[in-house]
């Protein structure tokens, strides 16, 4: 992994960089403050952030939250000299995957990197599943609305309206939700037009 280090203590920063290289990772930095680390992440996002909690200008937890709001969420490991349970809770709320207390030994660092990366992957997959489920639900609603519109407009049973939507999708080589959306969009546009004019209402069989 390419890991961005933000650490304001030079000796600690050098030690962390050496340990990361020894573990086979590519090091980006170290950067001495949160502002510099943020600008670097904007320019070239890394695979993981290794952040000191007490950075100048922008502290590590604020930096983690800011990176997320800018679409730069990655696994985060926080390093601190404070063994404070309250900070652990705050770090978890900020999306931090692992928390290390100085001095940091190589085995603990390696474990923290693995845990943070795994948690991030699990969260990303869970969010992707939720997005897929929401999209499928919305598409089903679109098809139902289009089917009801077609059945009412043509005076045919819902099953027949659904078959017509399926046939239109096959003939156009398009997904059924896309055909449904096009029908609803067309009806919406033409329906607004019919309110402005006295012309006849459109036939939804055009779907």
Section 77-96 average pLDDT? 81
Section 146-162 average pLDDT? 89
Most confident of the following: 30-34, 149-153, 168-172? 30-34
pLDDT exceeds 90 at position 42:
yes
Q: What is the CATH number of the domain that holds 52?
A: 3.40.50.2300
Co-location of 91 and 8 in the same domain: yes
Q: How far apart are CA 207 and CA 148, in angstroms?
A: 13
pLDDT reported for residue 64: 92
Q: Which residue from 45, 54, 51, 46 is spatially nearest to 26, judged by alpha carbons?
A: 46
Q: Which of 32-36, 85-89, 113-117, 130-134 has the lowest mean pLDDT?
A: 85-89
Section 151-166 average pLDDT? 89
pLDDT tier for residue 197 given thresholds of 50, 70 and 90: very low
Section 109-135 average pLDDT? 88
In a domain, 119, yes or no: no
pLDDT exceeds 50 at position 194:
no
Average pLDDT taken over every residue of the chain = 86
Answer yes or no: are the C-beta atoms of 28 and 4 closer than 8 Å. yes
pLDDT exceeds 90 at position 195:
no
Q: What is the dihedral of CA 112, 76, 32, 42, to 10 degrees?
A: 150
The kind and range of the H/E element at 165 are helix 158-172
pLDDT reported for residue 200: 41
Co-location of 156 and 66 in the same domain: no
pLDDT tier for residue 193 given thresholds of 50, 70 and 90: very low
pLDDT reported for residue 207: 44
How many domains does one find in the chain? 2
pLDDT reported for residue 48: 97
In a domain, 163, yes or no: yes
pLDDT tier for residue 191 given thresholds of 50, 70 and 90: low
pLDDT exceeds 50 at position 190:
yes
> Considering 61, 87, 104, which residue would you say is the last residue of a domain?
104
Q: What is the CATH number of the domain that holds 139?
A: 1.10.10.10
Expressed as residue numbers, the domain containing 192 is 134-206
pLDDT exceeds 70 at position 205:
no
Q: How far apart are CA 176 and CA 168, in angstroms?
A: 8
> Considering 82, 104, 126, which residue would you say is the last residue of a domain?
104
Co-location of 155 and 76 in the same domain: no
pLDDT reported for residue 189: 62
In a domain, 6, yes or no: yes
Co-location of 139 and 58 in the same domain: no
């Amino acid at each position: 992994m390419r890991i961005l280090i933000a650490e304001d203590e030079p000796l600690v920063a050098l030690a962390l960089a050496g340990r990361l290289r020894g573990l086979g990772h590519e090091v980006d930095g170290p950067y001495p403050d949160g502002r510099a680390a943020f600008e670097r992440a904007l320019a070239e996002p890394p695979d993981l952030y290794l952040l000191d909690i007490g950075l100048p200008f922008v502290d590590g937890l604020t930096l983690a939250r800011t990176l997320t709001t800018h679409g730069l969420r990655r696994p985060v490991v926080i390093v601190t000299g404070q063994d404070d349970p309250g900070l652990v809770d705050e770090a978890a709320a900020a999306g931090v995957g692992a928390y290390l207390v100085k001095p940091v030994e190589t085995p603990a660092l390696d474990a923290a990197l693995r845990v943070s990366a795994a948690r991030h992957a699990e969260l990303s997959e869970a969010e992707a599943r939720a997005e897929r489920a929401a999209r499928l639900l919305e598409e089903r609603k679109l098809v139902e609305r289009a089917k009801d519109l077609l059945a009412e407009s043509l005076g045919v049973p819902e099953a027949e309206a659904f078959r017509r939507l399926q046939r239109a999708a096959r003939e156009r080589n398009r997904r059924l939700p896309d055909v449904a959306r096009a029908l609803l969009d067309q009806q919406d546009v033409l329906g607004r037009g019919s309110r402005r004019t006295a012309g006849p209402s459109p036939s939804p069989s055009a779907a």
